[in-house]
């Protein structure tokens, strides 16, 4: 029997070969055709299984790469969110400091106004009291 070269075989060409052997077997080719059919079927299934294993290995590698890229992406997003939150917190702190300073200045101005009012009103109050 001759060796079967499956390097360029496709699923369709192997199926056609198997169908041809089936036709020969059905036409009364006997045991040699059945043996050839079995040999071709095993070769086809072996090649198919090898392609399936290669595909599964490639799929596992790509899945691992995808997971690594996804994790890196999520880490970048988390860093961006933390930077954004820090920026917002700094803005809030600046605003709170500005409000505190404005409140302090308003309190100082109110005290100064009260002192000025008391100094200005003191002679009038003394005059009303008769001192």
Report pLDDT digits (tens) over 72-128: 999 999 999 999 999 999 999 999 999 999 999 999 999 999 999 999 988 888 888
Residue 64 lies in a domain: yes
The answer to the question of residue 5 being in a domain is no
pLDDT of residue 25: 46
- Tell me the pLDDT band of 9, cut-offs 50, 70 and 90: low
pLDDT for res 55: 97
Residue 29 structural domain: 11-129
| Domain-located, residue 3 | no
Q: Is residue 72 part of a domain?
A: yes
Region of 46 on the Ramachandran plot (φ > 0 left; ψ -120 to 50 alpha; else beta): alpha
Q: How much is the pLDDT for 122? A: 86
Q: Is the pLDDT of residue 3 over 60?
A: no
1 in any annotated domain: no
pLDDT band for 1, please (50, 70, 90 cuts): very low
Q: CB 48: neighbour CB atoms within 10 A?
A: 14
30: left (phi over 0), alpha (psi -120 to 50) or beta: left
Query: Does 36 reside within a domain?
Result: yes
Q: How many domains does the chain have?
A: 1
Lowest mean pLDDT among 10-14, 24-28, 59-63, 102-106: 24-28
pLDDT for 2 beyond 70: no
Q: Supply 59's token pair.
A: 């799929």
The rounded radius of gyration (Å) of the Cα atoms in the chain is 46
User: Binning pLDDT at 50, 70 and 90, where does residue 11 land?
Assistant: low
More confident residue, 1 or 50: 50
Q: Is residue 30 part of a domain?
A: yes
């Amino acid at each position: 029997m001759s060796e079967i070269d499956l390097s360029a075989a496709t699923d369709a060409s192997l199926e056609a070969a198997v169908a041809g052997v089936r036709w020969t077997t059905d036409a009364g080719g006997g045991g040699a055709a059945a043996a050839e059919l079995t040999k071709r079927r095993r070769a086809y299934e072996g090649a198919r299984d090898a392609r399936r294993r290669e595909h599964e290995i490639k799929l596992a590698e790509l899945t691992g790469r995808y997971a690594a890229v996804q994790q890196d992406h999520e880490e970048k997003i988390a860093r961006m969110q933390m930077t954004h939150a820090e920026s917002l917190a700094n803005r809030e702190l600046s605003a709170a400091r500005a409000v505190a300073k404005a409140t302090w200045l308003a309190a100082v101005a109110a005290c100064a106004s009260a002192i000025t009012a008391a100094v200005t009103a003191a002679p009038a109050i003394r005059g009303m009291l008769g001192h």
